[in-house]
Amino acid sequence: MTIDFKQPAAAADAAWQGDIRAGVRHVRDLAALPLSPAERAAAQEAAAGHKVRVPKPYLELIDWNDPDDPIRAQVVPSPAELVAADGELDDPIGDHEFSPAPRLTHRHADRVLLFPTYQCAVYCRFCFRKESLTSIGRGYTREALEPALAYIAGHPEIREVILTGGDPLSLPDKALAEIRARLEAIPHLRLLRIHTRVPVALPSRVTPGLVEALQGRLMVTVVTHFNHAREITQATEAACRAMRQAGFVLLNQSVLLKGVNDRVDVLEELCRELMYRLGVKPYYLHHGDLARGMAHRRTTIAEGQALVAELRRRLSGICNPTYVIDLPDGGGKVPLAASHIEGRNGDAWLIRGQDGKARVYREVVS
């Protein structure tokens, strides 16, 4: 399925609206799918903790003959997610601790997270904000953003606004254009960043109208969320091309998930195809957050370090993401890759090369 960017606006909108209608919109729609008895039994209870929603283009990527299909694993509720482990958290990365206004998180001086909606086009079982999506569960209204916009206007150190959620691209074009215009009117802002799974799960939503709604004075960066090379299709390619042609900078963040992408060949193909086929730079590979009921999808940090060390050997610099952990209690994102520095004696550093052999590097400064 491809997107025709020359089609009239109404037809472009009918296409993505049809993709939503023909997908899973509610837990009861799962009844029509060939789930395992265990998945069927878990669905209702799991949906109470985190909504179920899968647009048709994403649903069509699932190979139902494979019980361990990596696409299915991301969106079909599993009995394993009903098991909460000790140490798991409702707010795994401390969004709420640094919230000076409703729908705003300000942890780093120059950038803020703005939550225009807590709804998504697809609901991912591993979502680290699933408690917020369920307990807050509100959509966009103009009034809800006023305190956050006033805060941003009053803080000239903020240069970058990150629309996240929820999924900001699940909003109508009109709402996006309105938010963009309000932000543009704040003179110290330079960049508008959008964190979204829409180009992955509902690529037909990336219409000329949506692209136009985001274009204006601010530099626009769209951070997509592909986790597996099977998510890269003709339709996602067309969506990314449209955004690149509009001048948006495209980056991707992935979550390292056991049984989905925790093999080096899977990550290698994902990162290579993101860069070479979609023109999307792999930005972050997130270590699995401590979201509740997700122990079955988490890898160890040592496993993640071994994977990214091998990726570094196999892929060019621009295809490599930074492996990070988002620390609880607002510690922020910090790199996790194993250090190549083995030791130091004054100006002599012992540094392990990409070939695994350590070398002495002597610093020379005047």
Ligand X SMILES: *Cc1c(COP(=O)(O)O)cnc(C)c1O
Residues that bind ligand SF4 (CB under 6 A): 120, 122-124, 127, 129, 165-167, 197
Apex CA 121: angle with CA 151 and CA 164, to 5°?
Answer: 20
Binds 105: which of ligand SF4, ligand X, none (CB < 5-8 Å by kind): ligand X
| Residue appearing with tokens 């803020």 | 112
- Whether omega for the bond prior to residue 166 falls within 30 degrees of 0, making it cis, is yes
Binder of ligand X out of 113, 145, 152, 280 (CB under 6 A) = 113
Q: How far is the CB of 326 from ligand X (least distance, A)?
A: 6
Binder of ligand X out of 29, 99, 102, 111 (CB under 6 A) = 111
The answer to whether 107 contacts ligand X (rule: CB under 6 A) is: yes
Binds 197: which of ligand SF4, ligand X, none (CB < 5-8 Å by kind): ligand SF4
Q: Which residue is nearest to ligand SF4 (CB)?
A: 127
User: Which stretch, 3-11, 104-112, 120-128, 242-250, contacts ligand X (CB under 6 A)?
Assistant: 104-112
One-character DSSP codes across 111-168: EEEE-S-S--SS--TT-TTHHHHHHT-----TGGGHHHHHHHHT-TT--EEEE-SS-G
Q: 40-44 — which CB contacts under 8 Å span 24+ positions?
A: 41/79, 42/77, 42/78, 42/79, 42/81, 42/82, 43/77
The answer to whether 333 contacts ligand X (rule: CB under 6 A) is: yes
Binds 113: which of ligand SF4, ligand X, none (CB < 5-8 Å by kind): ligand X
Judged by beta carbon, residue 107 or residue 155, the one nearer ligand SF4 is 107
Judged by beta carbon, residue 16 or residue 189, the one nearer ligand SF4 is 16
Residue 177, SS3? Answer: helix
User: Which stretch, 108-116, 166-174, 264-272, 293-301, contacts ligand X (CB under 6 A)?
Assistant: 108-116
Q: Which two tokens stand for residue 104?
A: 């705003």
Binds 199: which of ligand SF4, ligand X, none (CB < 5-8 Å by kind): none
Judged by beta carbon, residue 124 or residue 239, the one nearer ligand SF4 is 124
Which residues fall within 8 angstroms of residue 162, CB to CB, at 6 or more apart?
111, 112, 113, 114, 193, 194, 195
First-to-final CA distance of the chain? 61
What residue ranges bind ligand X (CB under 6 A)?
93, 105, 107-108, 111, 113, 162, 333
